[in-house]
Structure 1
Amino acid sequence: MAFSLCLRSPIISLLLHFLLVDPPERPRGHNEMDDLSENFQLWSLSGESCPEGTIPIRRTREEDILRASTIRRFGMKNTLNRVKMDTKNDGHEHAIGYVTGDKYYGAKAIINVWSPNVKNPFEFSLSQMWVISGSFGDNLNTIEAGWQAYSLFIGRTGCYNLLCPGFVQTNKNIALGAAISPISSYNGDQFDITLLIWKDPKTGNWWLQYGAGTLIGYWPSLLFGNLRDHASMIHFGGEIVNLGLFGSHTSTQMGSGHFAEEAYGKASYFRNMQVVDWRNNLIPLSNPKVLVDHPNCYNLQQGFNKAWGNYLYYGGPGRNVRCP
């Protein structure tokens, strides 16, 4: 395969057999007809596929290794890459909507997919959901899923995709880290993906679903401390890294690279945002709040309507006349 490898594992084969017998209990209120998507991954468009009992693994490229500060840290998240309420001094900038103050057992959203310009290989631009528990420090637990420069990815505290142990993938058709196609175009066709993260009431494991009912795999509950029970905060939105080279703000784009006020077809969006409550029901957001680190560089506007439920527009170009 050009982009992926198929790896065989007796454990994965056993899990696939088990899932056919006893799948996780999906949240009530999940309407698969709302999640139909035409997005595919580029590696599979040629007809390539993985046989039963294997999962696709994206090939590691030279540039992936060069991004790591050391070989030991390959696949690990930047130690500064932690969601916190004061991000002004660590290079990570956010434009997010969030809810807090309750017990959450998952989140769901439809996420608009773009191809933002990233200034250099050591910066990034992503759009994702964060499922968070614990204090912003050593006790922080997070589960994350979304797209990064138009590739599908997942994460948890400390790790990306399958590059370190933790996430158990059970799907042979989805390659984490592989490119998504098609993507949205400015003032043109819009494409999005649907992601659902939730805690299975039967096992306590946190599951990930893509699109209309496609299970990708799960994070075992034993990986976590605070998240073993529930989440205390859910975030939706964008994040970039600004290295601040040459004394100016980066021109790395967030979302579509356009500000929220340009709205549909121009700005990037999250729509139909929901959380999972203690009864395993998907419900609307209650009293959502906004966090924008540098509104002259990237901004966000949120709203609610019958078709899109809770939604937000977000993003921006980075360096501009108001963001030097």
Structure 2
Amino acid sequence: MDCIANKENTGWGITIFYNMVEHLATRVIIFLSYVALTFGNRESTDQDAFRTILTKDGDRYKCISINQQPSLRHPLLTNHKIQMKPSSYPVELYNRSLSAVNNSLAELPTISCPTGTIPILQDIKGGSTNIFFHTKNGDERAEVAGAKINDDVYGTSVSINVYEPKVKEKTKDISTSFAVLLNAQNKSHLEAIGAGSIVWPSFRGDTFARFHISWMDRTHSGRVQCYDHECPGFVQVGNIGLGGRILPVSIYNGPQYQINVLLFKDPNSKDWWLATGNTLIGYWPSQLFTILKDKAVSAFWGGQVAGPTVQENFPEMGSGHPASEGYGKSAFMGDIKIVDRNNKYAKPDFHKSFAATSKKKCYSVDSFGQDESGLHVYYGGTGGCKCSS
């Protein structure tokens, strides 16, 4: 199912009815001249208010008014009042470091939009692809490797080791390194939110690691995901460019880079917020959800490959090397903590957590454990195995 919302009609239309009386025709000409002058001035104002920014990587972002962003076209968000910040943050948000030893932070794309505007990526080529935890949808199939917890979760923080795994070009296949929170009432009703790095050749015609968000919109039947601003729902408040390139990325047996992702629920509004480090990106309003509105009942941190042709020749996951190769050679999720019902960080219950892979001959997990910084796990694989493997 296509989750792209119908665009609103933003054009200006003028219909004039008049008879053939000569003096009325003259009045109409005067009126039209006034309208042309009025709307000509309005157009100039719009051009002054908005800006198009071209990044050094060739991405083109349009800065639009925060009050005119796509999310506000969602039927459940009619008359929604934008929240610029949550009512409270999880305890320790500003006084704890998520950075692992010997790692450096990669930079998410920050777009210098004017105050009161947000960046929207233009010229998107890709289409929807299923990414959430091992789901099937028609001819698509996802395979995963990473860590999961089955417990009440009100948020999570994680350090995501960023690589650029190889994915077949000219397909809609993807390879992700993602953090996901979900709540499933049954097999046919699953709501989820997530964020992380995706290599997605059909999205912009390249094989870069890009920062994406995704969620399951309950107004759509089946397991259909929405990405970034692909369909209305996510309310952006910061200048992080969704869909933009992450730089630098980790090098096999070389420097390692990571991004820090925080997902958490505002205990008052019940909105689900997304931040990186101390920077707020935006939120999913609580009105979008039913079963996820209160809490998540499981979380996943790891890699996933998905798309219409992955079963023919699986793409790489993580660093493109097995999890057993360890630090500097295989990708990891580290410093994993959850947010509890009291809005405090907590180490995940290790007895309710596990590491797993859905296709052992292709992708592996290793070194799953817990320390004072939280859970950690290595994951990934070379891909290339066949469906029968």
Q: TM-score, normalised by structure 1?
A: 0.83
**Contact 2:133–2:300, Cα closer than 8 Å, also in 1:** no
Among 220, 228, 249, the alignment partner of 1:183 is 249
Q: Distance in 2 between matches of 1:215 and 1:304?
A: 29
Among 214, 223, 226, the alignment partner of 2:279 is 214
Residue 94 of structure 1: aligned partner = 144
Q: Distance in 2 between matches of 1:298 and 1:219?
A: 32
- Report how far residue 291 of structure 1 moved: 2.7
Residue 156 of structure 1: aligned partner = 215
Residue 71 of structure 1: aligned partner = none
Among 16, 40, 61, the alignment partner of 2:107 is 40
Q: Distance in 2 between matches of 1:226 and 1:243?
A: 29
- Report how far residue 295 of structure 1 moved: 1.1
Among 60, 65, 69, the alignment partner of 1:8 is 65
Q: Distance in 2 between matches of 1:182 and 1:272?
A: 20
Q: Distance in 2 between matches of 1:182 and 1:323?
A: 36
Among 314, 323, 348, the alignment partner of 1:260 is 323
**What aligned pairs does 1:243-258 form with structure 2 within 5 A after superposition?**
243=308, 249-258=312-321
- Report how far residue 56 of structure 1 moved: 1.1
Q: Give 1:5's aligned amino acid.
A: K
**Contact 1:243–1:250, Cα closer than 8 Å, also in 2:** no
Pick the structure with greater CA Rg.
2
Among 98, 122, 134, the alignment partner of 2:184 is 134
Aligned CA-pair RMSD: 2.7
Q: How many residues align?
A: 297
- Report how far residue 124 of structure 1 moved: 0.5
**What aligned pairs does 1:1-324 form with structure 2 within 5 A after superposition?**
1-2=53-54, 3=59, 4-10=61-67, 19=84, 23-30=86-93, 32-35=95-98, 38-41=105-108, 44=110, 49-61=112-124, 63-64=125-126, 68=127, 77-78=128-129, 81-84=131-134, 90-100=140-150, 102-120=151-169, 121-149=171-199, 150-157=209-216, 158-172=225-239, 174-211=240-277, 213-241=278-306, 243=308, 249-286=312-349, 287=351, 288-304=353-369, 306=371, 308-319=373-384
Larger RCO (CA under 8 A, 6+ residues apart): 1
Q: Give 1:314's aligned amino acid.
A: Y
State the identity %: 31
> Secondary structure in 2 aligned to 1:222?
helix
Q: Distance in 1 between matches of 2:140 and 2:185?
A: 17
Q: TM-score, normalised by structure 2?
A: 0.70
Q: Distance in 2 between matches of 1:191 and 1:278?
A: 31
Does the C-alpha gap of structure 1 residues 269 and 206 become closer, same or farther in structure 2, counting only changes over 3 Å?
same
Q: Give 2:238's aligned amino acid.
A: N
Does the C-alpha gap of structure 1 residues 314 and 303 become closer, same or farther in structure 2, counting only changes over 3 Å?
same
- Report how far residue 11 of structure 1 moved: 6.1
Gaps of 5+ in 1: 69-76
